[in-house]
Structure 1
Amino acid sequence: MTIARPFAALSLASAVALATVPALAVQDASPQLPGQMDVTRVAAGTYATDPAHTLVGWRVNHFGFNDYFGSFGDAEGTLTIDPADPSSATVDVTVPITSVSVVSEGLRDHLLRPGANGGDPDFFGPDPAPARFVSDSVAVHEDGTSATVSGQLTMNGITRPVSMDVQFTGAGAHPRSGVETIGFEGTTEIRRSEFGIDTAIPLVSDEVELTISAAFEKQ
């Protein structure tokens, strides 16, 4: 009996260890994100923006001390894309200027307030038209996941050509709605003076960095 006990204890320990391995494996396995950076997941068709998850961030330098930033939301528009011919893609997106968001409520009021004594406003004014970007061309890069998108940006009643660097960030079925969704990020820089907004230049920089994070849902 004294010889059998160690073998029995060893067998019991081995059984516990073997039973524990699958449980630990399940605990360590990370759930796969619904969206993956896999172009084979992109289905041809027309997509519409998800306004709640599409943002346009902006950044300017303030008095040479530091940068200040904010964002616009509620963007609406369409993307038409064919993964067999991505350079034929078109995008048309409208962004309401009144959706501007900043940390300081006072600054938001300044951006949207009327001009003093009936004059021109410092920035957008109280009833600004939405900004709109309409693409002219898409030049897909060799990696197949990034591109230069060129088009026309209309803001403050003025239309100028703009090119942005765009990166595909993910595609897949939305986990709640089941709708096919595509994500992109884009960056560009504009001069606000070219759109008739020249208040406080150069104390507040003429150059405005734009960062776009967009989600499109298949229609």
Structure 2
Amino acid sequence: MNKRITSVIAAALLSTSAFAAPTTYSVDPTHTFAVASWSHFGFSTPTAVFAGAEGTITYDADKPASSKIDISVSIDTVDSFVEKLNEEFVGSDWFNAAEYPKATFVSTKVVPHGDNKFSVTGDLTIKGTTKSVTMDAVLNGTGKHPMSGKPAIGFDATTVIKRSDFGISQYVPHVGDEITLRLTTEAQAK
């Protein structure tokens, strides 16, 4: 009888630790976007959205510092809401999408701050240039996705970069060099 109770307790502990294990999620390309905004001559703040997201998020609720993010977006999906500007952006003077079709972010360090807030440092690669950046991230939620029933996760992250650091310096300083970059992501377990 004692052996059976011990076996039941051991099984319960093992199943609990299995739930606590890190989960790897696949990025949902229909709900993951990079959004860039900048100053236009100091008069307005235009925005461009990049889609075509791919990648994974590995999240460990018990050890969030060991979490990892690896996401890319497709440059040729850029939508600035101005057709002529979209054409310019994919050209060689701007992002050169033919040679550098993706922008990527691969995390190197995650620091939890409590209240679902994190600093996520990683390598951002745009137009063949890689720079370390730190994003302020908020975990929006985890749980069962209402549509698929699979475990899901979502977060938003922001940072400010200088586009000239990535070889994109058209019209600087009149058109802002500082770009506010926001990543909004939804992902589901594989």
- Tell whether the structures are fold-level matches, with TM greater than 0.5: yes
Query: Cα RMSD over matched residues?
Result: 1.6
Match of 1:86 in 2: 64
Letter in 2 for 1:91: I
Match of 1:133 in 2: 105
| Distance of 1:92 and 1:123 partners within structure 2 | 24
Match of 1:157 in 2: 128
Change (3 A) 1:66 1:43: farther
Letter in 2 for 1:182: I
- Structure 2, unmatched stretches of 5+, are 1-18
Letter in 2 for 1:186: A
Cα deviations across residues 42-86 of structure 1 (Å, max 9, x unaligned)? 973111100110011100111111111111112110111211101
SS in structure 2 at match of 1:202: coil
| Distance of 1:198 and 1:112 partners within structure 2 | 14
Q: TM-score, normalised by structure 2?
A: 0.85
Say if 1:42 and 1:182, in contact at 8 Å, map to a contact too: no
Say if 1:182 and 1:215, in contact at 8 Å, map to a contact too: yes
Cα offset, 1:112, TM superposition: 1.6
Change (3 A) 1:42 1:97: farther
| Distance of 2:170 and 2:63 partners within structure 1 | 43
Letter in 2 for 1:69: T
Match of 1:211 in 2: 182
2:36 aligned to which of 53, 58, 65: 58
Cα deviations across residues 127-161 of structure 1 (Å, max 9, x unaligned)? 13301111110000033x11000011111011100
Say if 1:42 and 1:171, in contact at 8 Å, map to a contact too: no
Match of 2:77 in 1: 99
| Distance of 2:79 and 2:22 partners within structure 1 | 34
Output aligned runs, 1:174-213, within 5 Å.
174-213=145-184
- Is 1:142 the counterpart of 2:114? The answer is yes
Q: Which structure's residues are more often strand, by fraction? A: 2
- Is 1:77 the counterpart of 2:77? The answer is no
Q: How many residues align?
A: 171
Name which one, 1 or 2, has greater alpha-carbon Rg.
1
Q: Which structure's residues are more often helix, by fraction? A: 1
Cα offset, 1:176, TM superposition: 1.9
| Distance of 1:189 and 1:106 partners within structure 2 | 25
Q: TM-score, normalised by structure 1?
A: 0.74
Match of 1:67 in 2: 45
